[in-house]
A and B are shown apart, each in its own frame.
Chain A
Amino acid sequence: MRYLMPLIAFMILAVFLFAGLSLNPRQVPSPLIDKPAPEFELHHLHEPDKVFSSTDNVGKVWLLNVWASWCVACRDEHPLFVQLANSGLVPVYGLNYKDESTTAMQWLRQYGDPYEVSVVDVEGRVGIDYGVYGVPETYVIDKQGIIRHKQIGPVTVKSMEETIIPLIIELQRQA
């Protein structure tokens, strides 16, 4: 009994601490999953007099990738988006977040431009509507304009192959 009680207390503590190890405090569950994607109208990056509206994409599955030229992690995931865009599976739209347009366009020339359209959110207001707090972030939006998945931080080969692409294919099958 004398040694049993501390042992039990330690075991309980250890279970909690061990569970804590596998949690990532950066992975904040988004309340926007399964909610309609916030609507926005923003100017194109390359043709600033054109306006893109998020409602234009109703009826198709699309990705919204939040990126910026100052974002180092964006460079890691970028080749995956270039590859995805080349495959023609799904249109990828870019939300250029709090960036300088000239550097942003230069960045795309340098690393490739996978985006159907990139829109400019200089002040990050649309970012707030989408609950963006770290760049890059990627949203999978279905035909009804509902957010089905949010990737916080860079997309990896694993998350692309195991989560995002299967989800896109499944969503495209749905009416």
Chain B
Amino acid sequence: MAQPTSNSFPGNTKSSGYVSRLYGVMILLFLVLMIPGLAMSQQAIPVAEDPEVEKRMIALTEDLRCLVCQNESIAESRADFSNDMRREIREQIHANKTDSEIIEFLVDRYGDFVLYNPPMQTTTILLWFGPLILFIFGVWFLISYIKNRRIQIEEVTLSEAQRKKVDALLNEENK
């Protein structure tokens, strides 16, 4: 079979059929490649009317826990609960509430647990200072370990005979 690009002679029905079929395949391929584009355009619908409000809302919700899917923030979560929270926060921003007022509103209802950045309290002291204590303990452990090792590895002085042997071996290698 000849190359498809080379036989565009009129009258060569067989090869022109081949070319049009190739075009058909290419158009089909093009359309198939368009499909993800369609899917994208559908997902992009729920964009806020007011980008300023949205920006503030996202900044706030990134530090808030979605109580339904607990390892996600409200900003990330697709849960119904988070949708409601985002709606609520948008409304409160529109009502000119400050960020701290909004946070307080949520903490009053859901407790400190909604905050990814918990306040310092008697119940959270371990949470706040636990890592520091572990770090200090780790440093102390490391220092004492290294000190112990230094004692174990004593300086070894070579005798004259040993030194000669070492020199001989090294010279042998350098040859």
Q: CB-defined interface of B83-111 with A at 8 Å, one 1/0 digit per residue? A: 01100100000000000000000011111
Chain B contact residues: helix, strand, loop or mixed: helix
Q: Are B70 and A130 in contact (CB under 8 A)?
A: no
- Contact partner of B109 (CB less than 8 A), chosen from A32, A123, A124, A134, is A32
Q: Are A28 and B113 in contact (CB under 8 A)?
A: yes
Q: Which residues of the partner chain A approach B110 to less than 8 Å between Cβ atoms?
A: 28, 30-31, 131, 133
Q: Are B108 and A133 in contact (CB under 8 A)?
A: no
CA distance in complex: A123, B107 (Å): 20
Q: Are A133 and B67 in contact (CB under 8 A)?
A: yes
Q: Are B111 and A133 in contact (CB under 8 A)?
A: no
- Contact partner of B111 (CB less than 8 A), chosen from A25, A31, A127, A129, is A31
Q: Which residues of the partner chain A approach B70 to less than 8 Å between Cβ atoms?
A: 25
Q: Are B88 and A128 in contact (CB under 8 A)?
A: yes
Q: Are A124 and B84 in contact (CB under 8 A)?
A: yes
CA distance in complex: A167, B20 (Å): 82
CA distance in complex: A30, B111 (Å): 6
Question: Total interface residues on B, using CB and 8 Å?
Answer: 15
In the complex, whether A44 has a CB less than 8 A from a CB of chain B is no
In the complex, whether B68 has a CB less than 8 A from a CB of chain A is yes
Size range of the interface on A? Answer: 10 to 19
Q: CB-defined interface of A93-130 with B at 8 Å, one 1/0 digit per residue? A: 00000100000000000000000000000011001111
In the complex, whether A88 has a CB less than 8 A from a CB of chain B is no
Q: Which residues 15-47 of A sit at the B interface, judged by CB distance below 8 A?
A: 25, 28-32
Q: Are B113 and A29 in contact (CB under 8 A)?
A: yes
Q: Which residues of the partner chain B approach A31 to less than 8 Å between Cβ atoms?
A: 107-112
- Contact partner of A131 (CB less than 8 A), chosen from B84, B88, B109, B112, is B109
Q: Can you list 10 residue pairs at the A/B interface with Cβ under 8 Å? A: A31-B108, A31-B109, A32-B109, A123-B84, A128-B84, A128-B88, A129-B109, A130-B109, A133-B110, A134-B67
Not counting A30-B110, A128-B84, a sample of 14 additional A-B residue pairs whose C-beta atoms are within 8 angstroms of each other reads A25-B70, A28-B111, A29-B113, A30-B111, A31-B110, A31-B112, A127-B84, A128-B88, A128-B109, A129-B109, A130-B109, A133-B67, A134-B67, A134-B68
Report A's interface with B, CB cutoff 8 A: 25, 28-32, 98, 123-124, 127-131, 133-134
